[in-house]
């Protein structure tokens, strides 16, 4: 019997095994948590007893019951509750255009009549759904941060190990000047570090604006004290207080999208370089056993790098859609643009989860073939040092003779012999001039700075 699930990741291998935090079940759990958080926030204001809030949590089967009304702020309770049929809820959501409307009915029906008025008290559907998506995002980002930290640690160790291994630097696909394997790793490391810091610094706020963003319903119900309700809501859910309503000012979503895309960009750079450097004719790095081919048994493909690249190619388009939705968030509540955000943001979180997990795996398995690095460095027979030769020799022999020297070497001449034959050779240490290890600039210092880097940024909370 085929599964009823629509998407197991069959066409998205980078996300397989990393979907649970953004699944429909996870979204349902977050929706219920957002509704319960509102009850707890009202309780924190003194509008209803903590015992009543606890009873509501118990009736909904929430693991957050132990913290109901306590303002613990972990926001991480595991659900779903009430044995809610996710597929049935999705069908019921069609008529109202969102799942909160039928969910509220189910949650109310689980309570005694006298307590039902506290469900969704003063809120609108967008308040709950936006808040739930921020809860989902927070848990997903926490998981991404763990994998990025693992990748950072592996790359820092890798950079230190290969700090002084000189390699051919390439620009526009061609040999340029010497670099080091350690410095190359520092470039990867720097991109990941910056993206991790940006994720840590994100603001992931609750949404609580009422029907049209005026919060009139909350003030009508709770009086002046209800002005504190958004802050209490943020506290009990472990999210941020944006202070202002963001129904149509969608910066929390676009900033999140940008940070996730910066992350997949950084991981895509790493993965792209690994794919290139593991090419058969280059073979400077390998990634362990690799993946085979259905037709070519000799192959050992850099599968993790390939999957990361697939995520990096998808993420910018998803982020672009979220920016377009933000720009088209009309009036006081968006029509259609808001709805288009939900699956787009979920997919962006999904690919970031998969890419970061694959990056942790890839960096832990990354190995260098020192012989291949040396072989490729020598392939131009010293011409990789042409920039240095030009700097040193042009003042001695002039630009025309310098050009002729390079042309002769490029035509197959032995550069060391050509240099030794110069009348000015007595003033030149040819061996030192042609040593790539002495023309790697401050590569070693850059590795040292990166591998002793302790400031990974403050955690978001």
Residues assigned a catalytic role: 293, 333
Query: 188 is written with which tokens?
Result: 């990867």
How does DSSP classify residue 427?
Answer: G
Q: Find, among 154, 159, 166, 157, the residue nearest to 372 by Cα.
A: 166
In b/e form, how buried is each residue of 116-145, taking b as 16+ CB within 10 angstroms? bebbbbbbbbbbbbbbbbbbbbbbbbebbb
Query: 459 is written with which tokens?
Result: 């955690």
Give the Cα separation of 145 and 63 in Å (integer).
Answer: 25
CA distances 311 to 186, 256, 390, 426, Å, are: 22, 16, 43, 56
Q: Note the residue count of the chain.
A: 461
- Report which secondary-structure segment, H or E, holds 367: strand 367-368
- Judge contact between 461 and 237, C-beta under 8 A: no
- Judge contact between 200 and 194, C-beta under 8 A: no
Give the Cα separation of 354 and 398 in Å (integer).
Answer: 56
Using alpha carbons only, give the angle 446, 447, 449 rounded to the nearest 5 degrees.
Answer: 65
How does DSSP classify residue 168?
Answer: E
179: Cβ–Cβ under 8 A, 6 or more apart, which residues?
Answer: 166, 167, 168, 169, 440, 443
Classify residue 207 as exposed, middle or buried by CB count within 10 Å of its CB (0-12, 13-18, 19+): buried
How does DSSP classify residue 247?
Answer: S
Classify residue 413 as exposed, middle or buried by CB count within 10 Å of its CB (0-12, 13-18, 19+): middle
Q: Find, among 103, 118, 146, the residue nearest to 356 by Cα.
A: 146
Spell out where 221-343 has E strands: 285-286
Quick check: helix, strand or coil at residue 285? strand
Give the Cα separation of 49 and 55 in Å (integer).
Answer: 10
Give the Cα separation of 111 and 299 in Å (integer).
Answer: 61
């Amino acid at each position: 019997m085929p599964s009823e699930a629509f998407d197991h990741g069959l066409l998205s291998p980078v996300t397989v095994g990393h979907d649970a935090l953004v699944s429909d079940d996870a979204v349902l759990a977050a929706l219920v948590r957002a509704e319960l958080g509102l009850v707890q926030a009202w309780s924190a204001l003194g509008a209803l007893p903590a015992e009543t809030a606890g009873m509501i949590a118990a009736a909904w089967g929430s693991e957050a019951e132990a913290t109901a009304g306590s303002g613990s702020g972990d926001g991480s309770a595991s659900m779903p509750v009430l044995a809610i049929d996710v597929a049935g809820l999705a069908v019921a959501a069609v008529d109202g255009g969102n799942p909160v409307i039928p969910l509220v009915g189910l949650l109310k029906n689980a309570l005694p009549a006298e307590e039902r008025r506290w469900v969704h008290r003063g809120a609108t559907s967008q308040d709950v759904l936006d808040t739930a998506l921020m809860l989902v995002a927070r848990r997903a980002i926490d998981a991404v941060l763990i994998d990025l930290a693992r990748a950072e640690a592996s790359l820092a160790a890798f950079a230190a190990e290969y700090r002084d291994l000189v390699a051919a630097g390439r620009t526009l696909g061609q040999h340029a000047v010497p670099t080091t394997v350690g410095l190359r790793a520092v470039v990867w490391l720097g991109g990941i570090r910056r993206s991790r810091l940006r994720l840590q610094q994100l603001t992931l706020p609750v949404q609580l604006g009422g029907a049209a963003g005026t919060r009139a319903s909350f003030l009508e119900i709770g009086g002046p004290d209800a002005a504190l309700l958004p802050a209490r809501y943020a506290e009990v859910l472990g999210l941020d207080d944006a202070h202002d309503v963001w129904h149509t000012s969608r910066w929390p979503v676009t900033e999140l999208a940008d940070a996730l895309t910066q992350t997949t960009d950084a991981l895509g750079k790493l993965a792209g370089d690994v794919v290139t450097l593991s090419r058969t004719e280059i073979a400077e790095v390998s990634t362990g056993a690799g993946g085979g081919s259905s037709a070519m048994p000799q192959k050992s493909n850099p599968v993790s790098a390939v999957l990361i690249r697939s995520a990096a190619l998808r993420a910018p388009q998803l982020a672009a859609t979220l920016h377009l939705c933000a720009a088209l968030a009309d009036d006081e509540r968006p029509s259609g643009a808001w709805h288009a955000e939900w699956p787009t943001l979920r997919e962006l979180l999904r690919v970031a989860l998969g890419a970061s997990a694959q990056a942790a795996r890839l960096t832990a398995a990354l190995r260098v073939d020192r012989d291949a690095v040396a072989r490729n460095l020598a392939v131009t027979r010293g011409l990789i040092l042409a920039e240095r030769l030009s700097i040193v020799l042009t003042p001695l022999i002039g630009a025309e003779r310098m050009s002729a020297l390079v042309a002769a070497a490029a035509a197959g001449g032995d550069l060391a012999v050509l240099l030794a034959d110069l009348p000015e050779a007595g003033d030149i240490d040819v061996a030192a001039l042609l040593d790539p290890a002495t023309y790697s600039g401050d590569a070693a210092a850059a590795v040292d700075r990166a591998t002793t880097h302790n400031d990974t940024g403050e955690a978001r909370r």
